[in-house]
């Protein structure tokens, strides 16, 4: 059974459309939004450290957004927001892994310094 959702819009009134099974709902949507702004999103994957959200990513679909109407992953962090296809998402994950490797190397170096082995 396919789910549908009806959302109010400023330019097209109530719009009924199919809702993907992974969609977590539309809590931020209101009648001031235009149809092109309708966005299905999944629950977010969150990178959090010491109570600060560093990055988030979720599946997204903007069914009326023209060229951006397909499925993609929407990610955001303190620097910028971006939309990634599967290839971009793998590249982003690789960059995070490389960054984590560098941070671990710094932690190893700090341990050496704190142990007094590199003064």
Q: In this predicted model, what pLDDT tens digit does every residue of 8-17 receive, in sequence order?
A: 999 999 999 9
Residues 23 and 79 in one domain: yes
Record the tokens describing residue 84, joined without a space. Answer: 């990634």
What mean pLDDT value characterizes the chain?
A: 84
Give the domain extent around 42. 3-84
Residues 10 and 49 in one domain: yes
Per-residue confidence at 69, pLDDT binned at 50, 70, 90? low
Record the tokens describing residue 103, joined without a space. Answer: 């941070």
Residues 118 and 79 in one domain: no
pLDDT at 63: 92
Residues 80 and 108 in one domain: no
Residues 18 and 47 in one domain: yes
Which of 67, 100, 99, 64 lies closest to 83, judged by CA? Answer: 67
93 has pLDDT over 80: yes
Say if residue 5 is exposed, middle or buried (CB neighbours under 10 Å; 0-12, 13-18, 19+): middle
Residues 60 and 112 in one domain: no
Q: In this predicted model, what pLDDT tens digit does every residue of 16-68 receive, in sequence order?
A: 999 999 999 999 999 999 999 999 988 988 888 778 788 888 888 899 987 66
Residues 52 and 42 in one domain: yes
Tell me how many domains the chain contains: 2
5 has pLDDT over 90: yes
pLDDT at 80: 55
Residues 95 and 77 in one domain: no
1 has pLDDT over 50: no
Residues 103 and 78 in one domain: no
Residues 13 and 51 in one domain: yes
Residues 57 and 96 in one domain: no
């Amino acid at each position: 059974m396919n789910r549908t959702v009806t959302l109010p819009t400023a330019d097209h009134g109530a719009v009924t459309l199919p809702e993907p099974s992974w969609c977590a709902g539309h809590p931020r949507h209101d009648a001031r939004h235009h149809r092109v702004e309708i966005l299905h999103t999944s629950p977010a994957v969150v990178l959090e450290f010491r109570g600060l959200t560093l990055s988030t990513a979720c599946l997204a679909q903007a069914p009326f957004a023209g060229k951006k109407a397909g499925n993609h992953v929407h990610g955001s962090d303190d620097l910028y927001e971006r939309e990634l296809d599967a290839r971009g998402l793998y590249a982003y994950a690789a960059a995070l892994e490389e960054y984590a490797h560098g941070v671990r190397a710094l932690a190893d170096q700090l341990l050496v310094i704190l142990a007094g082995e590199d003064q």
